[in-house]
Structure 1
């Protein structure tokens, strides 16, 4: 970079009034010397030796040049980030799919991220909002990831039956050590395919009808036991539900023939 240096009164005034203070503040940030001490020393050197302050001008211009580059890079980054966000949140709009407006950077799950609501509560509200407006489906965003909420029951059947090969991903968190999340409805890929192949023969339409009647009979007995709470009789709900589950599994598996009378007897201690 070439800078012309002029030894006239106007340039000298410019150097004393503008360049020295700015350069002094910059240098002081890189050392333990205060800006006032730097400015005083520079002015003293200039008065004694009448030296050309061209070097100071070059340093100041160099500093301003680096600052301009930094500001430009930040501006470019922010512009690209804004374009990226707009492009991500325009996915469903480009396809003509209705849905609630996303909020940066949460999408449509802000209350879930902030631990105000569960995902089930959020999807329930969106589902009924779409249904009230007469939409068969709607587009939402989980952070920056688009997702589809299906309202129409016929579309749900088509997704789960005819076109299931295109919708096998459930998008749910899976912990293989947690029985509440590690089940067939959450599994994906080869593990889901293998477990589904094992369970499918046990859930044909004929067997489901037989199982339904057995579950109804067990549930009726459970309702009778729980009715005792109307008379302020305390019950151990964990013990009751454990025996109810055992009774249902035993009857459905044709292994044991439990009667629900066992439900009224206390469990083992």
Structure 2
């Protein structure tokens, strides 16, 4: 009996905390959609029925205020609508907002943890020093001819099919993007515009970005 009472007490306290947690934006007079317990306002992205870009776009169109408060599951988050406010966050106060949401544990995934977009604070600064020279004006000028070649190969690939061919836009984009990235980064020919349905590079990219519950 004592254990049941303890469990009921714990559940009641958790429910009270949940209600209090989901009132964060209301307490701060920030407009936003009503959250659903446990998934907040991102339930449709977790079950892969909507892309977050579409969800955020709907909020952007629905509200007229400079910002919209929502919940990433249990955590309060915010969408900025005002260009001046966005500029403040991204430029003026960048030191306070430099970390991305993605923070991968080196113990869990040591390879992905080196991704500069997943690094935090000082690690991000070091990563930025490493990758910035790759995007210098001279380097980009060197990459441009390769990208032009990829564009020409892309046109040839489409023209090699009958004029009434239906293309899958996502599959075409995968071929174009993969060919560009591999050729520009490693200076090798990945062969993404050959007529075979798949090659190793396309398959690796498809596996990497395959939508799953955990990716969501």
RMSD (Å), alpha carbons: 4.2
Considering fraction of residues, name the structure with more helix. Answer: 1
Question: Aligned pair count?
Answer: 187
In the other structure, the counterpart of 2:121 is 189
Secondary structure (helix, strand or coil) at the match of 1:157 reads helix
Alignment of 1:104-253 (within 5 A): 104-113=37-46, 115-117=47-49, 121-172=51-102, 174=104, 176=109, 183-204=115-136, 206=137, 210=141, 213-214=144-145, 217-228=148-159, 230-231=161-162, 243-249=179-185
In the other structure, the counterpart of 1:45 is none
User: Deviation string for 1:99-135 (max 9, x for gaps)?
Assistant: 111111211122344x2436xx134223332234323
| Distance in 2 between residues matched to 1:80 and 1:207, nearest whole Å | 60
> Normalising to structure 2: TM-score of the pair?
0.63
Does the Cα contact within 8 Å between 1:138 and 1:149 map onto a contact in 2? yes
| Distance in 1 between residues matched to 2:14 and 2:116, nearest whole Å | 38
Show structure 1 runs of 5+ residues with no match.
1-65, 251-255
Does the Cα contact within 8 Å between 2:147 and 2:184 map onto a contact in 1? no
Does the Cα contact within 8 Å between 2:146 and 2:184 map onto a contact in 1? yes
Structure number with higher relative contact order (C-alpha < 8 Å, ≥ 6 residues apart)? 2
Show structure 2 runs of 5+ residues with no match.
201-216
How big is the shift at 1:138? 1.3
Answer with 1 or 2: which has the greater Rg: 1
How big is the shift at 1:243? 4.7
| Distance in 2 between residues matched to 1:94 and 1:208, nearest whole Å | 50
| Distance in 2 between residues matched to 1:116 and 1:242, nearest whole Å | 24
Secondary structure (helix, strand or coil) at the match of 2:54 reads helix
| Distance in 2 between residues matched to 1:116 and 1:223, nearest whole Å | 30
Secondary structure (helix, strand or coil) at the match of 2:68 reads strand
| Distance in 1 between residues matched to 2:153 and 2:84, nearest whole Å | 34
| Distance in 2 between residues matched to 1:159 and 1:93, nearest whole Å | 22
Does the Cα contact within 8 Å between 2:69 and 2:76 map onto a contact in 1? yes
Among 12, 26, 51, the alignment partner of 1:93 is 26
How big is the shift at 1:150? 2.4
